[in-house]
Structure 1
Amino acid sequence: MRTTLRDTPPLRDTPVPRTRGLDSTLALVRDGYDFISDRCRRYGSEVFETRLLFERTLCLVGAEAAKVFYDPDRFERAGAAPARLPKTLFGQGGVQGLDDAAHRSRKRMFMSIMTPESIRDLVDIFEQEWQAALDRWKRVQSIVLYEEVSWVLCRAVCRWAGVPLAAYDVRRRTADLQALIAAPAAVGPAYWRGRRARRDCERWLAEIVRQVRRGELTAPVGGVLHTFAEHREPDGHTFAEHREPDRQLLPDRVAAVELLNILRPVVAVDRFITFAALALHLHPRCREQLSDGSDPEVARRFTQEVRRFYPFFPAVVARVRTDFDWNGVRFPQGRRVLLGLYGTDHDPRLWSDPDQFRPERFVDRPEDPWTLIPQGGGDHHVNHRCPGEWITIELIQSAVTLLASGMSYDVPDQDLRVSLRQMPTLPNSRLVLANVSQR
């Protein structure tokens, strides 16, 4: 019988548990999403110490741990992530690595475009692109849903953001954005593919930013491209090459990094949408409840359970800003810390039957910024929580409605297993649909 945190004794006021051996990097690769939560169960603790890439690291799980982790007086992000993350996933100089006033200023730039009207515009464009793709899906015997949804999302987010994207370039740019997502946990060719994609995408978007700034490309005021191209850092947070009062704009490359921090996460919703389609297939009762598309609350609960249940980001990283004690454990300044997102979303102290897919758990459940954290915890405006989380929710919910009430299809025999060792993961077959038709 599998042991859970609920089965273990209360946290002891003793020295922090430590993993054995010189380094646990290979164990992290082997255990994947379960690495942190499995060891917390083993030690009966919300925190343990290990070595990852030969650096001492504290690992945490749970809502109370999340509250501590997102305290800006205790933790900082600058220099926290392993080098491969900014070189692939995040980009160097992006919002994920900023703290204090610099982070707040950059976060305001992101949040300024996350209005209900703007998000609705993106969803409308997504649905238009989905319908155009559906017209093509009906004419072929089968499709790989993950690949098709990726292209739909890439076209949609570029249209919404005002980023020019030629039809012949959709697959190339989508592949680059997918490579950024896959590279951090990859080794060998997949990692270097992500490094190359990072360079190519930054060059592409930096040139577009320059065209906007030179007046060669029109970007609607208030839109994503215009907002990012014209964003100015506050006094004291300008870049060295833009010291003059009229040169406080982000450097072209940093503006490109932040544009990628819009495009990449939206394309990454392809994984959640693929998992949503998988859940519809595995839980026919849910599909029946969603089949008429008349109750958005049912779709919302289903969407939230997809985000809770299926693996997305395994963990987030920070460094201790100043010495403090929590739950009898010393957190020394400079120590790297990982918070398990997947483990918290499956913590039996927070979720009954966490390994069961049950959308009804969200009936009358109040929103809590520390328990459902697939894209980070805390306040979107203040903390390092994904500013595009609302976009993610709305896109998944739209896709769920389109899948359940807007089209019919068969799911042929295929390998639908989801490995928790692969990060980020997908169904092994990437979900093949056959005989697609429109309802």
Structure 2
Amino acid sequence: MLVLDDTLFLLLEGYGWLPALRRRASGGVAHTRLMGRRAVVLCGPEAARFFYDEDHVRRHTAVPEPVKSTLVGHGAVHALDGIDHRVRKAMFLSLLTGEGVDSLVAQTTAAWDEAVDAWADGRQVVLFDEVAKVLTRGVCRWAGIPLDDADVPALASDLTAMVDGFGSAGPRHWRARLARIRREAWLTHLVRQVRDGTTTAAAGSVLDVIIGHRDADGKQLDSRAAAVELLNVIRPTVAVCWYVAFAAHALHRWPHHRDALREGEAAYAEAFAHEIRRFYPFAPFVAGKAVRDLSWAGEHIFAGCLVLLDVYGQHHDPELWEEPYTFDPKRFVGREIDAFELIPQGGGDPNTGHRCPGEDITATLLQALAVRLARLDYDVPHQDLTISLRRVPTRPASGFLLAAPPSRDQATAGAVPSPLKMCT
């Protein structure tokens, strides 16, 4: 079967590319080529089980170079398999689960409260940018990475650039590459300072644990590899700003959810966070490589073939979700979520497979910040809130502008609006 390369169509169509391919294919399994390599496209919980079985598909060598050079870094845990992956991932799990989550959330919510207090009277703010700075400040404090307040905006800009450029070509992509080069150099220097005694790392901190980690071969990470994995803690944490901007978008379009969040019911806040991660697009797909000749749904998959799991398509599949294009957090209230059903950060067991070990942190941070956002008193100025499915990763075009509302007396007198404040 002659299959033309579809890389250009991925860049042009974004999130709609794989669902469109599958609609045109018999049996829902599509064949294509991506960056010159033969690929097969799968979708659905059972396909996810197949994909995340290392006897079928492995991530090693499947992560494309543009993604390594922007999003995850070369030599990162994402590109490992087998015992190497399990040992490296165990380090991340020790940091990103349990008490570590509570500590990070506490640091981040404190940084949020500081930011809200500091927003000037009457000034419009871009929520996406402000939350990126909040998350940068919070995660660096938590991780034990020294950071002056004056350096927060530049670091937040670089961390978001790494994410913003992974699925693009052109200026966004090159900004991402340059941002990664800068920040790997910065953290490599920090690691060397700790190792030569010039700087100290707090015992048990993220910085301390990654510097002291030993891989399956018993060797410590070299300074650059340690810097890459430090970035793989702080960069995805800051990427939660995408989800917070989506939460603001959802609260603006469907404001009745605000009251439920303001009440602080944990089950509803958790369901709201899950629905944000399902409804709004982030990663369009994940990729691996077939380790041997395989068969799926009657389709032959050749050894070495790329296997693409359609994440966006799965999250909007009417056979899996009732009214998938309706934003409805209640679908997750009291619902047991299968490990291969909701997969914005991978599928399967987070302890042994390729599911992101930071998923708990993402969901918990999103819950905490969505509740604070719902309790914040603000106006939404006229702006472009479109979310393009051709842009990967996408977000509200304006970044979501908000401003403090004027009081009645101030509006009458033409005075400057009051500061943003929390509603109780």
**Class of the TM-score when normalised by the shorter of the 2 chains:** over 0.9
Partner of 1:260: 231
Between 1:266-275 and 1:342-351, the stretch displaced more is 342-351
Contact kept, 8 Å, 1:321 with 1:334, in 2: the verdict is yes
- The DSSP-based 3-state class of the residue aligned with 1:185 is coil
- The DSSP-based 3-state class of the residue aligned with 2:121 is coil
Rounded Cα–Cα distance in structure 1 between residues aligned with 2:384 and 2:27: 36
Query: Paired residue for 2:382, among 413, 422, 434?
Result: 413
Question: Superposed, which structure 2 residues align to 1:25-424 within 5 Å?
Answer: 25-137=7-119, 139-234=121-216, 237=217, 248-293=219-264, 295-405=265-375, 407-424=376-393
- The DSSP-based 3-state class of the residue aligned with 2:287 is strand
Number of matched residues?
408
Letter in 1 for 2:385: L
Rounded Cα–Cα distance in structure 2 between residues aligned with 1:46 and 1:387: 30
Rounded Cα–Cα distance in structure 2 between residues aligned with 1:397 and 1:138: 26
Rounded Cα–Cα distance in structure 1 between residues aligned with 2:133 and 2:89: 27
Rounded Cα–Cα distance in structure 2 between residues aligned with 1:173 and 1:141: 23
Partner of 2:415: none
Rounded Cα–Cα distance in structure 2 between residues aligned with 1:230 and 1:140: 47
Rounded Cα–Cα distance in structure 1 between residues aligned with 2:277 and 2:170: 30
Partner of 1:6: none
Rounded Cα–Cα distance in structure 1 between residues aligned with 2:14 and 2:215: 38
Which blocks of at least 5 consecutive residues in structure 2 are unaligned?
405-419
Letter in 1 for 2:314: T
Rounded Cα–Cα distance in structure 2 between residues aligned with 1:413 and 1:204: 39
Letter in 2 for 1:367: I
- The structural deviation recorded for 1:148 is 0.3
- The DSSP-based 3-state class of the residue aligned with 1:415 is coil
- The structural deviation recorded for 1:81 is 1.7
Which blocks of at least 5 consecutive residues in structure 1 are unaligned?
1-17, 239-247
Could you list the structure 1 runs, at least 4 aligned residues long, displaced by more than 4 angstroms after superposition: none
Rounded Cα–Cα distance in structure 2 between residues aligned with 1:438 and 1:357: 25
Question: Superposed, which structure 2 residues align to 1:19-30 within 5 Å?
Answer: 22-30=4-12
Rounded Cα–Cα distance in structure 1 between residues aligned with 2:6 and 2:333: 40
Contact kept, 8 Å, 1:276 with 1:400, in 2: the verdict is yes
- The structural deviation recorded for 1:207 is 1.3
Between 1:101-110 and 1:207-216, the stretch displaced more is 207-216
- The DSSP-based 3-state class of the residue aligned with 1:375 is coil
- The structural deviation recorded for 1:322 is 1.5
- The structural deviation recorded for 1:213 is 1.8
TM-score normalised over the length of structure 2:
0.93
Contact kept, 8 Å, 2:62 with 2:289, in 1: the verdict is yes
**For each residue in 1:27-52, what CA deviation from the matched residue of structure 2 results, as whole angstroms up to 9, or x when unmatched?**
11222112112221232533211012
Between 1:92-101 and 1:161-170, the stretch displaced more is 161-170
Superposed CA RMSD: 1.4
- The structural deviation recorded for 1:206 is 1.0
Contact kept, 8 Å, 1:46 with 1:65, in 2: the verdict is no
Letter in 2 for 1:279: A
- The DSSP-based 3-state class of the residue aligned with 2:318 is coil
Between 1:136-145 and 1:91-100, the stretch displaced more is 136-145
Contact kept, 8 Å, 1:69 with 1:339, in 2: the verdict is yes
Rounded Cα–Cα distance in structure 2 between residues aligned with 1:339 and 1:186: 19
**For each residue in 1:335-356, what CA deviation from the matched residue of structure 2 results, as whole angstroms up to 9, or x when unmatched?**
1111111111111111111011
Letter in 1 for 2:228: V
- The structural deviation recorded for 1:370 is 0.7
Partner of 1:7: none
Letter in 2 for 1:438: M
Contact kept, 8 Å, 1:36 with 1:61, in 2: the verdict is no
- The DSSP-based 3-state class of the residue aligned with 1:421 is coil
Rounded Cα–Cα distance in structure 2 between residues aligned with 1:33 and 1:340: 9
Between 1:215-224 and 1:130-139, the stretch displaced more is 215-224
Query: Paired residue for 1:428, among 366, 372, 397?
Result: 397
TM-score normalised over the length of structure 1:
0.90
- The structural deviation recorded for 1:90 is 0.9
Rounded Cα–Cα distance in structure 2 between residues aligned with 1:21 and 1:367: 36
Contact kept, 8 Å, 2:3 with 2:31, in 1: the verdict is no
- The structural deviation recorded for 1:138 is 5.0
Contact kept, 8 Å, 2:268 with 2:333, in 1: the verdict is no
Between 1:189-198 and 1:426-435, the stretch displaced more is 189-198
Rounded Cα–Cα distance in structure 1 between residues aligned with 2:167 and 2:31: 21
Rounded Cα–Cα distance in structure 1 between residues aligned with 2:226 and 2:27: 42
**For each residue in 1:79-117, what CA deviation from the matched residue of structure 2 results, as whole angstroms up to 9, or x when unmatched?**
112211111111110001001010000000100112321
Contact kept, 8 Å, 1:307 with 1:374, in 2: the verdict is yes
Rounded Cα–Cα distance in structure 2 between residues aligned with 1:128 and 1:254: 31
Rounded Cα–Cα distance in structure 2 between residues aligned with 1:195 and 1:383: 28
- The DSSP-based 3-state class of the residue aligned with 2:72 is coil
Letter in 1 for 2:4: L
- The structural deviation recorded for 1:189 is 2.4
Between 1:325-334 and 1:414-423, the stretch displaced more is 325-334
